[in-house]
Amino acid sequence: MAKKKAGKPNVQSGVTWRNAFKRDWQLYMLLLFPLAMVIIFNYAAYPGLRLVFMDYKPAKGFEGSKWVGMETFAKIFRDADFFRALKNSIVFNLLDLLVGFPMPIILALILNELRYPKFKKVTQTILYLPHFLSWVIVGAVAYSMFRPTTGLVNIALMNAGMIQEGIPFLTEKWHWAVTYLLVGVWQGMGWGTIIYLAAITGISGELYEAAMIDGANRWKRMWHITLPGIKGTVVTLLIMNLGRVMGSNLERLREFGNSQVRDFQYQLAIYIYDKGLGGGKFSMSTAVNLFQSAVGVVLVLLADRVAKKLGEDGLL
Partner 1 sequence: MAKKKEEVIRGAEVSNEGNRAINKFRVSDFVMMALIVLLCLTCILPFLHLAAKSISGNTYVVAKQVAFWPKGINFDAYVSIFKDGGLTYAMVYSIVVTTIFTALGMLVCTCAAYPLSKKRLKGRTFFTFALMIPMYFGAGLIPSYLLMDKLNLLDNMWVLILPLIYSPYNMLIMKTSLQTSIPDSLEESAFLDGASNLQILTKIVLPLSKPVIATLSLFYAVGRWNSYADNIYYIQTDKLKMAQYKLAQMVSSANAAQTVSLSEGAAVTSTPEVLQSAAVMVVTIPIICIYPFLQKYFVKGVMIGAVKG
| DSSP 8-state code for residue 278 | I
Question: Which residue number, 276 or 314, has a Cβ lying nearer to partner 1?
Answer: 276
| Minimum separation from the CB atom of position 43 to partner 1 (A) | 8
Question: Which residue number, 77 or 119, has a Cβ lying nearer to partner 1?
Answer: 119
The stretches of 160-267 forming alpha helices (DSSP H) are: 173-201, 205-213, 218-221, 227-229, 231-242, 250-256, 262-265
Pairing of strands 66-67, 54-55: antiparallel
| Minimum separation from the CB atom of position 83 to partner 1 (A) | 20
Question: Which residue number, 198 or 302, has a Cβ lying nearer to partner 1?
Answer: 198
| Minimum separation from the CB atom of position 217 to partner 1 (A) | 9
How would you label 78-117 residue by residue, b for 16+ Cβ within 10 Å and e otherwise?
A: ebeebebbbebbeebbeebeeebbebbbebbbebbeeeee
C-alpha–C-alpha distance, residues 310 and 81, integer Å: 38
Count CA atoms within 13 Å of residue 33 on its CB side: 4
Question: Which residue number, 177 or 272, has a Cβ lying nearer to partner 1?
Answer: 272
Question: Which residue number, 32 or 310, has a Cβ lying nearer to partner 1?
Answer: 32
- Written as one string, the DSSP assignment of 46-74 is GGGGGGGGEE--TTTHHHHSEE-TTHHHH
Q: Nearest-CA neighbor of 271 among 90, 3, 135, 94?
A: 90
Q: Residue 134 carries which side chain, given as an amino acid letter? A: S
Q: What angle do CA 237, 243, 244 make, to 5 degrees?
A: 95
Residue 305: CB atoms within 10 Å? 13
| Minimum separation from the CB atom of position 182 to partner 1 (A) | 10
| Minimum separation from the CB atom of position 97 to partner 1 (A) | 18
Question: Which residue number, 37 or 74, has a Cβ lying nearer to partner 1?
Answer: 37
| Minimum separation from the CB atom of position 118 to partner 1 (A) | 12
Question: Which residue number, 9 or 311, has a Cβ lying nearer to partner 1?
Answer: 9
Residues with Cβ < 8 Å from 225, sequence gap 6 or more? 203, 207, 208, 211
Q: From the centroid of its chain, how far is CA 23?
A: 40
Question: Which residue number, 74 or 110, has a Cβ lying nearer to partner 1?
Answer: 110
| Minimum separation from the CB atom of position 185 to partner 1 (A) | 11
| Minimum separation from the CB atom of position 6 to partner 1 (A) | 8
C-alpha–C-alpha distance, residues 124 and 108, integer Å: 10
